[in-house]
Amino acid sequence: MCGIVGAVHEESGRVDPSLVRKMCALIRRRGPDDEGFHFDPHVGLGMRRLAIIDVNSGRQPIYNEDRTVAVVFNGEIYNYRELREELLKRGHRLVTHSDTECIAHLYEDFDEDFVARLRGMFAIAVWDIRQQKLLLARDRFGIKPLYYWQDGSNLYFGSELKCLLAVDRYDRRLDPQAAWDFFTYKYVPGPKTIYQDIAELPPGHIAVWKQGKLATRRYWQLKFSPDRTKSPDYYREGLLHHLEEAVRLHLVSEVPLGSFLSGGLDSSAIVALMSKICPGNVKTFTVGFGEGQPGADERPYASAIAQLFKTDHSECLYDNPQRQVESILPSMIEAFDEPFADSSMIPNYLICQAARQWVTVALSGIGGDELFAGYERYRGALAADSFQRLPRFLSDGISAAACALPHGRYGGLWVDRIQRFVEGAGLPLPERYQRYLCAFTESEKTSLFSSDFIAQLFKSGGGVTEPAMNRVEPCSDPLERILLTDMETYLPDDELRKADRLSMWHSLEVRVPFLDHKLVEFVATIPSHLKLKGWEKKHILIQCLKGILPNSILNRRKQGFSIPLGAWLRDPLRALVEANLSPRTLYDIGIFNVQTVEQMLKKHELGIRNYETQIWALLVFVMWYRAFFSKH
């Protein structure tokens, strides 16, 4: 695990080694154990290493036998031992036991197609000296990040945006469309970034630079192919087999390893299988908030699982949200480099911070919800079809009653969800699903931004946010269409981005067994009615884990890694909000309608409406802007 950077110029320009070293130094947190570089006159590659596999001899860059292929790599290849044996049989000479060295020799044998043979998470840069060609590759689901900026015929890349912001030739400018989209999704949807002209290599893609030209292509795409001739028992048994195999592969490590444990279904399943494979040798971590923070403490559930499987369990309790959030929010914003407003980043930051005191690698249950239909919004998006079929007088009456529900000073999330449900029920599925996801609707954003910003946005050809569902290959099954949308958008751009940035900020590697691509491809054959069966979410996963996990976990309602954000914004974090969303600050930034923001803050404070999601997005954006633009 590490971070990678690089630059490649045409023959007319030489790469400055000091720039590559500077880019690399900015991501030292990703790899505090070592650094390495490869320099040719027109090429520079750099890496920071967090030593996990082949600790003693796995230094990068790594080369083939005649040093005509150089590789820097971020991630883990879980089938590297199998690949190593194949390479040795084909006559290759390998001098390390690292997964990185396999990449160099696989490239020799299979050129760009070598990526299809990798099982793991990765961002890779391969420099082919003979062909003067650079190949960049990103894993199938976007577990590991990779950004690039093309300056004419020159190319710069890095594991984090801060690497590219360090290039003197780059003119730091806000992308208006990316900012507009951020206030829809609470993250910047890839491949765009918040900075003009800097892009993210999409998941499952490679990019090839040669003779000053860059071309990208997709090498893998998830396709649903349900087989309704198979029995539920076939899928239950097959799922358990693939899940056990994925967890076993993800346990390869030469350094201390553990697991996050919330007491929910996904993390509990991983801990149960870890304990089966490595009995009595599992370290687990959970985080909770103290008294006065209702609904945010999952420690009792996690403790029950830890006791059941006899793990070495650590509970991390935080009971002063004002002090905690105010102290870590600047660090979180720096970790992401661009605005990111999923409020679960707070407990995720804290659990990564706590876990790193004991382990270097932690397994996570990320991906389980997207694979098996675990989010409440999936039921809502499908239930809307039934709502539309109600008699008009009945649906109108329900809608009117929903709109009249009071938000209250210390609640409102469920009221907001009910109101969103009835508002989106009559829309086509893509627009409906976006309504259930969004922080601000299109009309709300028109009111949020200043007229000058909107004029600039539409003048540049931007404007309305296209529903994420329209950007993926269509499916005939509505649930499959929703799941595929989340797998290609929300999963890489929110869940995996959050996990990578916050874990690597603490020099911690997070692994996600649910996203082993062999497991995912098997799950793609399971009919959707076995994932969401009636009102039971994750039906097939629950059936698979019967007899492994107790009923109290199997039947538990999903809680999520949540915090009581609405109450915090009214009281302990009020000073932070007022300092960053003051009229003077907003006028200085110049892109917001100050009166709209003032009204939003007032209504939230009085309990007229719960604006926690919108205020948090604004707070994060303004703090990011002040840190990354006001000082430059």
Assigned token pair, 192? 């765009």
Which are the contacts of 234, defined by CB distance < 8 A and separation ≥ 6? none
In the block, tokens 């109101």 appear at 419
**Which residues form the catalytic set?**
2
State the DSSP string of 25-54. Answer: HTTGGG-BSEEEEEEETTEEEEEEE---SS
Cα-trace Rg, the chain: 24
Q: Name the residue among 172, 151, 147, 169 with its Cα closest to residue 160.
A: 147
Instruction: In whole angstroms, give the CA distance from residue 531 to residue 533.
Output: 6
Which are the contacts of 134, defined by CB distance < 8 A and separation ≥ 6? 6, 8, 43, 125, 126, 127, 128, 155, 208, 209, 210
In the block, tokens 């799941």 appear at 483
Instruction: In whole angstroms, give the CA distance from residue 95 to residue 245.
Output: 28
State the DSSP string of 219-270. Answer: ---------TTS-HHHHHHHHHHHHHHHHHHTT--SS-EEEE--SSHHHHHH
486 and 467 Cβ atoms separated by less than 8 Å: no
Instruction: In whole angstroms, give the CA distance from residue 437 to residue 478.
Output: 16
Strands lying side by side in the sheet with 213-218: 62-63, 69-77, 120-128, 133-138, 205-210, 213-218
Which are the contacts of 309, defined by CB distance < 8 A and separation ≥ 6? 271, 272, 275, 282
CA atoms within 13 Å, Cβ hemisphere of 231 = 3
Which DSSP symbol is given to 191? T
Which are the contacts of 517, defined by CB distance < 8 A and separation ≥ 6? 119, 140, 141, 220
The H or E element containing residue 156 is strand 154-158
Other CB atoms within a 10 A radius of the CB of residue 280 amount to 9
Helices 478-488/429-437 angle, 10° precision = 50
Instruction: In whole angstroms, give the CA distance from residue 213 to residue 210.
Output: 5
Give me the residues paired with residue 257 across strands. Answer: 361
Angle at 557 between CA 553 and CA 560, to 5 degrees: 95
Assigned token pair, 629? 């633009």
Residue 73, SS3?
strand
Strands lying side by side in the sheet with 509-511: 312-318, 283-289, 257-260, 361-363, 509-511
Which DSSP symbol is given to 195? B
